[in-house]
Amino acid sequence: MERRVVITAASAITPIGHGKEQIVNSLQNGISGVKPLREDELISRFIHSKVYGTVDYAIDYDFKRQYRKTMAPCAYYACQVAKEVLAESGLGEEFITSGKLGVAFGSIHGSPITQRDIYRTFFGATDNEAYKKIGAVDYLKSMVHTTAVNITKMFGITGRVISSGTACTTSSQSIGYGYESVKFGMQEAMLCGGADEYDTITVAVFDNLLACSTAFNNDPQRTPRPFDKLRDGLVVAEGAGAVMLEEYEFARKRGANILAEVIGFACNNNGGDLILPNLDGITNTLRLGLENAKINPDEVDLISAHATATKMGDVIEAQAINNIFGNSPYVIGLKSYMGHTMAACGSIETILSLYLMQEGFIAPTLNLEEIDERCAMIKHVQKIIQHPVRIAAVQNFAFGGVNTALLIRKLS
Amino acid sequence: MTRQEIEKEIINIFRREFEVENPGLDENLREAYEFDSIDAIELLLEIEKLLGFELTQEEKKQAMEIRTINQICDYIEGIISQRSLPGKK
């Protein structure tokens, strides 16, 4: 049994805004959410990259204590976007708690802020008093599926739980596996997404691998620079994104507002190195995505590239796109606006692609001033253009050699 | 510590730590305020602070069936009286 799957609600907390209106405004006006790296009183002073995609606005959380007690910052983000998506979808409580709705949600490693506090206690535990500071809820706050199960608890969701923790493909897998769960009749609906909180450990890891941007520390908004000649690495960021996926007939019959259809998903592995981008692996992902969606390459209007702005990653991705799509679709790197939101990036980039589809324009890759000639064989966007987007492809690649491709289509 | 003092301290703890205002003394805390096993562990830490000594694992396990403020007060009175028996510290 193969069923059609549609998106009926979407919401995101990003460095360029919370919710559609703010985010679209940032995309239309070239506003960046990259700011100076915040002091963490631990390792930030050693980190060479002094930039961070920052959520620096207040969010009006309204969670009761019985929910808050097991929530770290990543779960606050996750539950907030989940709450907004549930409200927007119009699904009633009876359905939400029926077992027909599942959750696919993740973060790259739970809550690093909580983990840091746990280790601080461990290493300082010279007596019983210090030992007892490890709280009863610390594991629940920090475990890798904390975002997913805080959502299930808060809203009484009783369907399946999928919680990928595959670094940068975490939430593209959430949407992909959620899509498959509905497509193959295992759930009627899936709430899918990802969230990551402020975290300097991730910055330090990339920094030590020489993969972080350092040349624009005094001018944060000029980085990251996907596909640009002067790009010098990624910028780590925080945020969250969530979408509601539903079986098409179910959504149509209940009169849901259908935003787009998910028409394909592919996930594979490079089968080798855990870090280096792999042209064969990525090329296969893009081909498998098109096969899964049963469409031709020239039907894709827009590609949201993973485009982290690392030296080699962007070149390999441009080559892979060219191998499969030639020079036909427009290609944009949405991380140029906010940095790399890690677990959230796949869902956020899907949601932003959805917004472009709805609003009929294509946002340029920010900071793309001089295209690197090794990336020049694809159709870049350097200025905002008014152009309808019927089919968009969202590409994400992760440490561990995991690759994903998601394809969404506007319903006519 | 008198029963009245214990009661007052516990109600303060519930207000401060659990955001529960003026609970009924015989109200089922789980049903009324979703007070769960995680909260019970947090409450035991607060009770240790109140008593000024550490509870044993056995004493803590006895607390897991407690459902009301009155039962919490009974439990604390019981601990105080057991500890004051000759041979106990």
Using the Cβ of A65 and the Cβ atoms of chain B, whether some distance falls under 8 Å is answered with yes
| Tokens standing for residue A90 | 């119009």
How far does the CA of residue B68 sit from the closest CA of chain A (Å)? 17
> Which ipTM did the prediction report?
0.80
Residue B43: predicted pLDDT:
94
Chain B hits for A66, Cβ within 8 Å: 33-34, 36
Q: In this model, does residue A343 exceed pLDDT 80?
A: yes
Tell me the domain boundaries of chain A. Answer: 5-109+144-409
Q: Are strands A17-18 and A5-14 parallel, antiparallel or unpaired?
A: antiparallel
Q: Is A376's pLDDT higher than 70?
A: yes
SS3 A303: strand
**What residues in chain B have their Cβ under 8 A from chain A's Cβ atoms?**
18-19, 33-34, 36, 38-39, 41-42, 45, 54
Q: Is the pLDDT of residue B65 over 90?
A: no
Residue A136's pLDDT is what?
A: 76
Token look-up 């020239």 returns A298
CB A408 within 8 A of CB A354: yes
Whether A393 contacts A301, CB under 8 Å: no
Query: Do residue B38 and residue A128 have CB atoms under 8 angstroms apart?
Result: no
Contact between B42 and A135 using a beta-carbon 8 Å cutoff? yes
Which of A273-277, A304-308, A354-358 bottoms out in mean pLDDT, i.e. has the lowest? Answer: A273-277
Residue A53 pairs in a beta bridge with A34, A237
A253 touches chain B (CB under 8 A): no
- Site from A64, A68, A69 to mutate, B interface, most B CB atoms within 10 angstroms: A69
How close, in Å, is residue A131 to chain B by CA atoms? Answer: 12
User: Given CB atoms, is A132 within the 8 Å cutoff of chain B?
Assistant: yes
Question: Collapsing DSSP states into helix, strand and coil, what is residue A246?
Answer: strand
Task: Determine phi and psi for A229, rounding to 5 degrees.
Answer: -60, -35
For B3-83, CATH gives 1.10.1200.10
Nearest CB partner across the interface for B38, out of A128, A132, A136: A136
CB < 8 Å to B38, chain A: 69-70, 136-137, 140
Q: How confident is the model at residue B88 (pLDDT cuts 50, 70, 90)?
A: low
Which carries the bigger pLDDT value, residue B42 or residue A230? A230
B38 CA to chain A: closest CA distance, Å?
A: 6
Amino acid B35: pLDDT: 92
Q: Is the pLDDT of residue A402 over 70?
A: yes
The answer to whether the peptide bond before residue A224 is cis (omega within 30 degrees of 0) is yes
> Is residue A354 pLDDT above 80, yes or no?
yes
C-alpha to C-alpha distance for A53 and A112, rounded to whole angstroms: 17
**Cβ count within 10 A of residue A118:** 17
Mean pLDDT (chain A, rounded):
96
Which residue reads 């920090």 in tokens?
A142
Q: What is the CATH number of domain A5-109+144-409?
A: 3.40.47.10
Q: A65 to chain B, minimum CA–CA distance in Å?
A: 7
What is the pLDDT, as a whole number, of residue A9?
Answer: 98
User: Is residue A224's pLDDT more than 80?
Assistant: yes
| pTM of model > 0.90 | yes
Calpha distance A116→A40 (Å, rounded):
11
- CA of B81, closest CA in chain A: separation in Å? 24
Q: Which residue of B has its CA nearest to A133?
A: B45
Q: Which residue of A has its CA nearest to B33?
A: A66
